[in-house]
A and B are shown apart, each in its own frame.
Chain A
Amino acid sequence: MTERFAPGDRVRVRVEQPEGNPRTPAYVRGRMGVVVERHGVIENPLDHHFPYPPLYSVAFRVEDLNGPPGPDVVVADLHDEWLEAAL
């Protein structure tokens, strides 16, 4: 599976992705963030039977998650199919 995004890319998290991996927290859905790291497809057979799509660390400013303004960020690890390119 190809990795559609690279570090520095701005992305938006889909609100709904019924076919997608469920490990996408509700508080980032619909939010804009920046890809900070690519992890690729991780083999983790103890945890799940088949590999999931490529995984990225995506940084969100706390204030973009309805938190207080300031320099702080939340980095969530999200799978490819939940992300779309944002301008």
Chain B
Amino acid sequence: MTAMSGDHPHMQDFEGHVSAVASDLEYFRRKRIEPRVLNYLRRGFVTWAELFAAHDSLSSEPVPDPPPDLELRIRSLEDSLDALILDAATAGTALAHHAVAIDDGRRERGDYNAEFRLATHSYEGDLETRISQLETTIAESAHLVAVLMAALVAKGEVGVDELAANRQRLSELGHHNGARIVARAWVDPEFKQRLLETGREAVRELDIPPGRLGKLGVAENTDDTHNIVVCTLCSCYPHDLLGNPPWWYRTDEYKTRIVADPRATVADMFGLDVGSDRRVVVHDSTSDVRWMVLPRRPAGTEGWSEDELAALVTAESLVGSAEIHEP
């Protein structure tokens, strides 16, 4: 098992990167993209004919040749997946006024019942063959998302400008809000207490939009407890506040292993050895309480400013798969 400890300036492990793309693409395709189209058809928000008309209205742009260099080609693949994920989230904002509850989607896509799940694509063959298959599937999924958005725009459900603004807002969500929350909690014990007790309400003090997805649970790492977050039933996370979690958060491997043997799993998957003097606490979220980890402040940062401290905080540390090291 490759340690999933973050990005490196140079790719060491092409296989690892390509299997990560395959895993995450299948998650989004099967959970967030194709089920959404089916939901909208089922509810009558869009019809097949409107989708076909939108397809015909989109000019088909030729797909550019992938870069010949393998590393650049894999980076380009990852970038196109990131763009697809952002577009899919943007499409999800188009019908906000119809109040489709998220849990309806979870039921219909099979989070609670395997019979409803969409089939998984398998990507097989040598590395370049699989890359080529992934490029095709990403392009096809991106087209489906584009068709859905064009159909909703043509119906007048949403404006192009509104979608662009939503896309911009979503692209700015990221772990930097979490980093600012953590840095404030490190320097201001009273804020930390309010954060632990009131969650989302406290982040307003930092002018961070608190989001509306249920309650924010904050699990504080201490000298005797290391916390880590999972959502075994879907992939709940306070993403309206913190952006998306690391990609492996959505994998079945992580969800299964972390609750079966937390200590061995963080060591094996993330290279994190939690000392025998500390217990590991796994938080399995429901959608009503979405958890983040408050990591420990590293030694050697006495007198640092909040901005300097925030720069140390990683997306992984907010989930609990990494500690923050001494600078």
**A residues in contact (CB < 8 Å) with B:** 22-23, 25, 27, 39, 42, 44-49, 52, 55, 57, 59, 62, 65-68, 70-79
Is residue B250 contacting chain A, with contact meaning CB distance below 8 A? no
Q: Which residue of A lies closest to B113 (CB)?
A: A22
Q: Which residue of A lies closest to B107 (CB)?
A: A22
| Given A25-B232, A27-B232, A68-B264: A47 and B102 interface contact (C-beta under 8 Å) | yes
| A30 to B: closest C-beta gap in Å | 15
Q: Is the CB of B259 within 8 A of A27?
A: yes
Cβ-defined contact, B213 with A46, below 8 A: yes
Q: Within the complex, which residue of A45, A72, A77 is in contact with B285, where a contact is CB–CB below 8 Å? A: A77
Q: Is the interface of A mostly helix, strand, loop or mixed?
A: loop
Taking the closest CB of chain A, its distance from the CB of B211, in whole angstroms, is 9
In the assembled complex, how far is the CB of residue A18 from the closest CB belonging to chain B, in whole angstroms? Answer: 12
Q: CB within 8 Å of A: which of B189-226?
A: 212-215, 217
User: Taking A27-B232, A45-B101, A46-B101 as contacts, is the C-beta distance between A75 and B282 under 8 angstroms?
Assistant: yes
Residues of B within 8 A of A (CB): 99, 101-104, 107, 112, 212-215, 217, 232-233, 259-264, 279-289
B102 near A48 (CB under 8 angstroms)? yes
**Distance, CA A66 to CA B260, complexed state (A):** 7
Q: Which residues of A contact B279 (CB under 8 A)?
A: 70-73
A35 to B101, CA, bound (A): 28
- Residues on B with C-beta less than 8 A from A62 are 261-262
A25 near B262 with CB under 8 A, answer no
Asked if B284 contacts A76 (CB within 8 A), the reply is yes
Knowing A42-B215, A47-B103, A48-B102 are in contact, say whether A55-B264 is a contact too (CB < 8 A). Answer: no
A55 to B104, CA, bound (A): 19
What residues of chain A lie closer than 8 Å to B264, measured between beta carbons? 68
Complex Cα distance A57/B282, Å?
11
CA distance A55 to B290 in the complex (A): 13
Question: A42 and B284 in contact (CB under 8 A), knowing A47-B103, A72-B279?
Answer: no
What would be 10 A-B contacts, judged by CB atoms less than 8 Å apart? A22-B112, A25-B259, A27-B259, A27-B260, A39-B215, A45-B99, A47-B101, A48-B287, A55-B289, A77-B288
Residues of B within 8 Å of A47, CB to CB, are 101-103, 213-214, 287-288
Chain A residue contacts of B212, Cβ below 8 A: 44, 46
In the complex the two chains form, is B289's CB within 8 Å of A42's CB? Answer: yes
Distance between B231 CB and nearest chain A CB, rounded to angstroms: 9
